């Protein structure tokens, strides 16, 4: 069995940018997932309006992004293990 180091996936997920729209000026703001997890609110880059990060919508979006990235990482890991096993023949 070929083992692949996947310890970097958590850092990748934490660094993944999440986008959300300002309810005041409708500009799109972007913050790292890990950063958003530790905060309850932020200010719009464009107009400075307070943006609440703890809404159900945003939390669901964060969970979905994390789930997608983990599924992708598992797929890649499986494919890499498979190719390496073939090369080793």
Should residue 47 be labelled a site residue for Zn ion when binding is judged by CB under 5 A? yes
- Of 31, 49, 58, 77, the one binding Zn ion (CB under 5 A) is 49
For Zn ion, the closer of residues 13 and 51 by Cβ is 51
Contact indicator for 58, 11 with CB cutoff of 8 Å? no
- Of 11, 17, 24, 50, the one binding Zn ion (CB under 5 A) is 24
In whole angstroms, the minimum distance from the beta carbon of 41 to Zn ion comes to 13
- 3-state DSSP helix/strand/coil percent for the chain, to nearest 5? 50, 20, 35
Distance of CA 25 to the CA centre of its chain: 25
Should residue 85 be labelled a site residue for Zn ion when binding is judged by CB under 5 A? no
Return the number of other C-beta atoms located less than 10 Å from residue 74's C-beta.
12
Q: Which residues contact 59 (CB under 8 A, 6 or more apart)?
A: none
For Zn ion, the closer of residues 55 and 64 by Cβ is 55
For Zn ion, the closer of residues 22 and 53 by Cβ is 22
In whole angstroms, the minimum distance from the beta carbon of 45 to Zn ion comes to 7
């Amino acid at each position: 069995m070929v083992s692949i180091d996947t310890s970097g996936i958590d850092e990748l997920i934490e660094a993944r940018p999440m986008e959300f729209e300002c309810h005041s000026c409708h500009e799109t703001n972007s913050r790292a997932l890990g950063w958003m997890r530790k905060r309850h609110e932020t200010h719009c880059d464009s107009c400075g309006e307070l943006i609440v990060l703890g809404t159900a919508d945003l939390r669901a979006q964060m969970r979905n992004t994390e789930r997608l990235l983990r599924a992708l990482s598992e797929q890649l890991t499986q494919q890499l293990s498979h190719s390496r096993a073939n090369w080793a023949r």
